[in-house]
A and B are shown apart, each in its own frame.
Chain A
Amino acid sequence: MIKRPEPVQIVKQRRDGVLKALVEGVPYIQFLGIEFERRGDELTAILPFKEELIGNPILPALHGGATSAFLEVTAIISLSWTNLWERMESGALETENIDHNHLPRMPKTIDFTVDYLRSGLPRDAYARARITRAGRRYASVTVEAWQDNRSRLYAQATGHFVMPRQES
Chain B
Amino acid sequence: MSNKIKLAGQFIQALPHAVALGMTLDDLDAGTAVLSMPYSEKIIGDPRTGVVHGGAVSALLDTCCGAAVMSHPSNPPGTATIDLRIEYLRAATPGQRITATATCYHVTRSVAFVRATATDEDTDVPVAMATGTFTAGASA
Contacts and interface: CB of A to CB of B under 8 A. Distances in A.
Interface in A49-63: 51-57, 61-63
A106 B48 CA distance: 10
Interface residues of A, number: 40
B58 A72 contact: yes
Contacts of B6: none
Nearest to B14: A57
6 contacts: A29-B53, A51-B16, A52-B17, A62-B17, A65-B58, A109-B86
B87 interface: yes
Interface string A29-65: 1111000000000000000000111111100011111
A26 interface: yes
A57 B16 contact: yes
B17 A28 contact: no
Interface string B81-103: 11111111001000000000000
Interface residues of B, number: 39
Contacts of B81: 64, 114, 116
Nearest to B45: A28
A65 B44 contact: no
B59 A65 contact: yes
What 7 pairs across the A-B complex have the smallest Cβ distances? A65-B59, A69-B55, A63-B17, A28-B53, A64-B81, A113-B85, A31-B42
